[in-house]
Chains A and B, each alone.
Chain A
Amino acid sequence: MTWLDHIRWTDLEPAHMDLEDRTYYIPCRSDLQGLVRSIRQVGILSPPLLQERSPGRFIPVIGRRRLMAARSLEFTRVHAGVLPETVLEQEGFALAFWDNIATRPFDVGATAVVVRRLLDLFPRITVADLFLPSLGVQPEGPRLERLRAIGGLEEPILAVLSAGKLLEKSAALMALLKPEERLGLLDFTESLGLNANKRAEVIERLFDLSVLHGKGVLEWITDERISAVTGNHELSVPERAAKVREIIKAWKFPELVRSEQAFGSWLARLPQPDGVVVRPSTRFEAERCKMELSGLSREEVERIIRMIGEGRPRKTGA
């Protein structure tokens, strides 16, 4: 790299810095307030690095959050290094990458954004050999492409992903949807208060239904059966979520739901002593059922067995 010889150290006005610029953006979603408190006390110990992209316009390369903190503290000048415009984006991003990766772990959302940018800037083999080992991402296999796709998602989705409220596989499916669909789906799952796993279930099933029937996700989530539940404010949020999941399950697995209902109806006609549970075969792959006895003591189990034995129909002719 040639950048080191060309850094110019100077004091810059934060007003001249474009902190929204994403050229060298590496997400970090931790709370800024800690950094603000630190800088208020002792100032900026490690000067940020910017690049002058046009006369008087500076974009952050390293230290974006320090600059954000400085701006929030209404600093009028910040001592910073300035890279010339001639430094390539590849070099600038590599600087940002190595500065960040050395000091903090990347969450999956940040990793995805970084992977996407690296693949835009560098040949694949360079990304594989130089950067991916530090990210803990295998260069082979489908994950790299999945992360690249996720890296292009909208900020609200990436934020939820980084917060651990959205699984990577769900984000990957959302990347296959249109922006308005995925943002609508995000809002929908947020409104149901689903945890990451239940959200993953809902997203995957709605995605499947959408692809199978050629009907957009938004059409499914605005279906009148769903709306009747989500608009029913007599139900608690968890109750609404449970009912919505039931509806979606019945759309996705109609035969399974029919089998479960038929089994339930059959079972309801039978006497059901305490301590006895009857289950169907796994996903109704066979007609066989499983009957489980449970008791708090041997005596109780014996009582249940005797009770069942006494109720046993006698063989014809016996």
Chain B
Amino acid sequence: MRFPIDRILIDEDARDEPLTEEILGRLPHVPYGVGNQFSVLCRELALERDPLAGGKRILRLMRHKGAFLKPCPGTRNYVCCGLEILHIGQGCPMDCTYCALQVYLNRPVIEVFVNLDDLLRDLKESVAHSGRGFRRICTGEFTDSLALEPLTGLSARLVSFFSYLENASLELKTKTDFIESLLDVDPRGRTVLSFSVNSPAIAAREEFRAAALDRRIAAASRAQERGYRIGFHFDPIIPETDWSTGYFRTIDEIFRRVDGSGIAWISLGVLRFVPHLKDAVTSRFGPLPYFHDGFLSGLDGKSRLHSDRRIAIYRLMAERIRSRHKDCRIYLCMESPYVWEKSLGISMGSNDDLRTYLDDAVAA
């Protein structure tokens, strides 16, 4: 286990779940408690100067009582990709300075939903009976898809589950290299293993406890050899001075080690954030220069750089990627049709257009 876990809390109704037993078996030296300690602990954490710092070392095993499959929150007034989120848990042991979860989640601990039978039943019913065409489903929105994989083995089970589905694909998004459990499972083309990447400097400086960039790319290469489609997410792109040098280095390294024809997609997203994230980040890490750039309030109320600047960044990134693999499927996360057209030369007028564009990468 790579990430430090100091304590495990088990909800009373989660103690008999098989996954609870498995996790406890893999963390034999970590103290745990069962029952109603959670609210007391949350209160203690909430009073700390930085509740997340402590919360990221506490694992809560619990049953998820709501729907496991939900649409990605996306954003209004920009083109979104129609991804659906499979809730395997929430919170993340890594600590990226820019992470939106710092203000999105209302509990600071890492939560694992251990009622796997419910999860798989929900998933099966939803996918089998929806009649909603092809479904792209991802686990990496409110947590990292693989951060707890050495403890849970959940993603390997999901890869196996999706390998027999005709109308859905799974995307695992990670900043780790915890792919061992996946390597012996044949995804049968139904899983995209995606790595969040960044410039080497940003990855080293802003992504605490994430795997080193070269380890992520090495993991992508290994997974590709085992039949996985690969994705990369340059998100957030942080345009510091001379930003392109570092990002180009990452792009070049990706295409040096990963076969471009096996890349399902590469997404690009320049840093944008809900305004109060800046305050939260400043209170946790002190003023970080990149949050103090010329951010304007976008159409969705999020802080965004001026469209001219985003367009220039996307254009350069796309040119570099296409110079390495001209047919690479590049998409923009939460951008306007105007920015799509100006930067990539692609007409992307609606969410449906983008959904189709990405479905085509995995539906075949």
List residues of A whose CB falls within 8 A of some B CB: 124-125, 128, 139-142, 145-146, 169, 176, 207-209, 211-212, 214, 252-256, 258-259, 282-287
Per the bound structure, the CA–CA distance linking A139 and B305 in Å amounts to: 34
> By the criterion CB–CB under 8 Å, are B292 and A283 in contact?
no
Query: Mind listing 28 A-B residue pairs with CB under 8 Å?
Result: A140-B46, A140-B47, A142-B280, A142-B283, A145-B283, A176-B282, A176-B287, A208-B292, A208-B293, A211-B287, A211-B288, A211-B291, A212-B290, A212-B293, A214-B289, A253-B294, A253-B296, A254-B294, A255-B294, A255-B305, A255-B309, A256-B306, A283-B297, A283-B306, A284-B306, A285-B307, A286-B336, A286-B337
How big is chain B's contact interface, by range?
Answer: 20 to 34
Distance in Å: Cβ of A205 to nearest Cβ of chain B:
9
B298 contacts A by Cβ under 8 Å: yes
For B305, the chain A residues whose CB sits under 8 A away are: 255
Per the bound structure, the CA–CA distance linking A128 and B338 in Å amounts to: 49
For A169, the chain B residues whose CB sits under 8 A away are: 279
Q: With CB as the reference atom, state the residue of chain B lying closest to A139.
A: B47
For B44, the chain A residues whose CB sits under 8 A away are: 125
> By the criterion CB–CB under 8 Å, are B283 and A285 in contact?
no
Task: List 4 additional A-B contacts (Cβ < 8 Å) besides A140-B46, A258-B308.
Answer: A125-B47, A208-B293, A211-B292, A285-B307
For A209, the chain B residues whose CB sits under 8 A away are: 292
Q: With CB as the reference atom, state the residue of chain A lying closest to B106.
A: A140
Q: With CB as the reference atom, state the residue of chain B lying closest to A254.
A: B294
Q: With CB as the reference atom, state the residue of chain A lying closest to B284.
A: A142
For B48, the chain A residues whose CB sits under 8 A away are: 124
- Closest A-B pairs by Cβ, 7 of them: A255-B306, A208-B292, A140-B46, A286-B338, A211-B292, A212-B292, A211-B287
For B29, the chain A residues whose CB sits under 8 A away are: none
Per the bound structure, the CA–CA distance linking A252 and B309 in Å amounts to: 14
Distance in Å: Cβ of B212 to nearest Cβ of chain A:
27
Max chain B C-beta neighbours (<10 A), residue from A128, A176, A254, A286: A286
Per the bound structure, the CA–CA distance linking A124 and B54 in Å amounts to: 16
Known contacts A259-B308, A284-B306; is-contact A252 B294 (Cβ 8 Å): yes
> By the criterion CB–CB under 8 Å, are A207 and B292 in contact?
yes
Distance in Å: Cβ of A212 to nearest Cβ of chain B:
4
Per the bound structure, the CA–CA distance linking A141 and B52 in Å amounts to: 11
B346 contacts A by Cβ under 8 Å: no
> By the criterion CB–CB under 8 Å, are B293 and A255 in contact?
no
Per the bound structure, the CA–CA distance linking A254 and B296 in Å amounts to: 11
Distance in Å: Cβ of A174 to nearest Cβ of chain B:
12
Per the bound structure, the CA–CA distance linking A145 and B51 in Å amounts to: 12
B76 contacts A by Cβ under 8 Å: no
Known contacts A211-B292, A255-B294; is-contact A282 B299 (Cβ 8 Å): yes
B49 contacts A by Cβ under 8 Å: yes
Known contacts A208-B292, A253-B306, A256-B294; is-contact A124 B283 (Cβ 8 Å): no
Distance in Å: Cβ of A293 to nearest Cβ of chain B:
24
> By the criterion CB–CB under 8 Å, are A284 and B308 in contact?
yes
